Amino acid sequence: MIRSAAVRKRLRELPLHIMLLPGVILTIIFSYIPIGGIVIAFQKFVPSKGVFDSKWIGFDNFRYVFDLPNFSSVIWNTVFIAVLKIIAGLIVPIIVALLLNEVVSKGFKRTIQTVIYFPYFLSWVILGGILIDILSPSSGIINDVVKLIGFEPVFFLGNEHWFPFTLVISDTWKEFGYSTIIYLAALTAIDQHLYEAAIVDGANRWKQTLYVTLPGMLPIVTLMTVLSLGNVLNAGFDQVFNLYSPMVYSSGDIIDTFVYRLGLLQAQYGVATAVGLFKSVIAFGLIVLSNFLANRFAGYRIF
């Protein structure tokens, strides 16, 4: 009897497993089969000879990369930009969600939500062109305002000091609207009786936010924070590639753009694969750590 019930359950679930097949097949083809290319990191790879006939050189590619004078700055740029993006990507959506939660007019609230969501759906190819135009030191609207208030124009995309912060601010502007959805959902899950109790105790709107809203959002904030650790080495290739130039390599060159130049522009395939493998190993460790911390502090686990 128990066995027949288990069989019936599996038959009911069979359509769901069949629905998963296309995604599983695509994942195998595009994510697992290419893993075999990792061997290039340990070869002096020559495309004409292929993987099987190229010379094996062990860890020489890794030694070459680690000895490059600018590799340490590439690692620093990646971590610095990614960490700033993570921090801004947590703080700004939380503040916006709290502000939207106080808006009474549903029409106005929906309008604001639509406006702030819109940039998320634009690619960095489009936004890159827009930013290059509005940040231009000669004709950009931002520098027109800077000159209007009496300051010298700033070359945001050509100044090595300003470039990382320009990346962080523009990325936050693009992404925060979508992230706000998560925190608005967390706000709706807070028990309304807690607000009623706070009002009875004489709490104003600020104290309600401080002692009811923020503690109610804390679990999801903790979860999003620890899960973001896995992105510490992902500073955003699409954005940086569309905005950077040789003038800002010292502060804006990240691992992904470094790999792009080594592999596709300089044809150093083995070296580029070695850098990519190094990044993947570190990222894997960070993801494992983030999942452990998510389970430890937020009670969230994937398996």
Is the pLDDT at 245 greater than 60? The verdict is yes
| Torsion on CA atoms 247, 248, 250, 254, rounded to nearest 10 | -130
pLDDT, average across residues 1-8: 66
Q: Which residue matches tokens 């401080």?
A: 210
Distance CA 118, CA 124 (A): 13
What pLDDT score was predicted for residue 298? 64
Is the pLDDT at 257 greater than 70? The verdict is yes
Domain segments of the chain: what residues? 1-58, 69-298
Residue-wise pLDDT for 73-102, tens only, equals: 999 999 899 989 989 988 999 999 888 888
Q: What proportion of the chain, given as a percentage, has pLDDT over 90?
A: 11
Residue 116 vs residues 123, 173, 187: alpha-carbon distances, Å: 15, 8, 18
Is the pLDDT at 137 greater than 70? The verdict is yes
What pLDDT score was predicted for residue 302? 60
Is the pLDDT at 291 greater than 90? The verdict is no
Is the pLDDT at 251 greater than 90? The verdict is no
Residue-wise pLDDT for 262-288, tens only, equals: 888 888 888 888 888 888 888 888 888
What pLDDT score was predicted for residue 26? 93
Span between the terminal Cα atoms of the chain, in Å: 30
What pLDDT score was predicted for residue 279? 87
Q: Which of 56, 37, 30 is nearest to 272 (CA)?
A: 37
Is the pLDDT at 301 greater than 80? The verdict is no
Confidence band of 69 (pLDDT split at 50, 70, 90): confident
Distance CA 188, CA 181 (A): 11
What pLDDT score was predicted for residue 214? 84
Confidence band of 48 (pLDDT split at 50, 70, 90): confident
pLDDT, average across residues 255-262: 88
Is the pLDDT at 2 greater than 60? The verdict is no
pTM of the model: 0.83
Its CATH class, for the domain covering 69-298, is: mainly alpha
β-strand partners of 44 = 55
